[in-house]
Amino acid sequence: MIVLGIDTATAMVSVAVVNGTTVLASSELRSDRRHAEDLTPMVDFVVQRAGLTFGELDAVAVDVGPGLFTGMRVGIASAQALAFALSIPLVGVDGLEALVSAVPAASAEQAQIIVPTIDARRREVAWAMHSVESSRFGVPQVGRVGAPQVGGMEDLLAAVRERGQHCLFVGDFARRHRDEIMSGLGPDAWIVSFGDDTVDWPHAKQVALIAHERLIHDEMSSQPVPRVEALYLREADAEINWATRSSA
């Protein structure tokens, strides 16, 4: 099954095509709020680089967030339009799950909890807890514990303290705020470690691979009009500002 993955939910825009578990082609770039302008030529390039035509795609997958509000909307709108035009399934994948799926097995085996982090702006962070279970065929089994959250640094640190388990942080936010996290945890800092820059951002490769896994296990329901919902976790800044002015 050939799946096109799209990820525009963060500052890193990426596109990939996978056939089963094989990545045929991918491209990524750091976008300076030019997600809409960058995405279309990247999609064309990756499909051509994979040696395919759009008619050979079996499904489209897209990162539905959390992340940048405008970026999420660009990716979702483009993915929906493409899936509708090609009459193929559309799969929404959340970026926190995509981050976790990119963690190398050797790193995951050293942790009890993996916490992917995505900058939510306004001094907040989006995260989710993922428990690492025993390995199966040499691959650690990772499952989400609870729903994705958004909050301040202290909210994140409180969640880690509550678990009291060895925690592997991944994502650009955690790496940039490493010192603040270690200082905030104080005596509990020994229970945390940090991923490297290879797992800073969700990537379309993981988005497509997760979607492929869901599709082959028939986890997707048939929809007459392909549609997915953004995982906002909170209102857009413009809506918050408007509500604040209205109540003043």
pLDDT in tens, 146-181: 899 999 999 999 999 999 999 999 999 999 999 999
Per-residue pLDDT reduced to its tens digit, 43-87: 999 999 999 999 999 999 999 999 999 999 999 999 999 999 999
Could you tell me the domains of the chain? 2-96+202-247 (3.30.420.40), 103-199 (3.30.420)
pLDDT score of 136 more than 60:
yes
Q: How far apart are CA 101 and CA 199, in angstroms?
A: 9
- State yes or no: pLDDT of 234 exceeds 90: no
pTM for the whole thing? 0.90
Here the tokens at position 196 are 């490297």
- Angstrom CA distances, 148 to 16, 219, 235, stand at 25, 20, 15
Beta bridge pairs of residue 61: 5, 91
| pLDDT tens digits, 81-96 | 999 999 999 999 999 9
The confidence band for 245, taking pLDDT boundaries of 50, 70 and 90, is very low
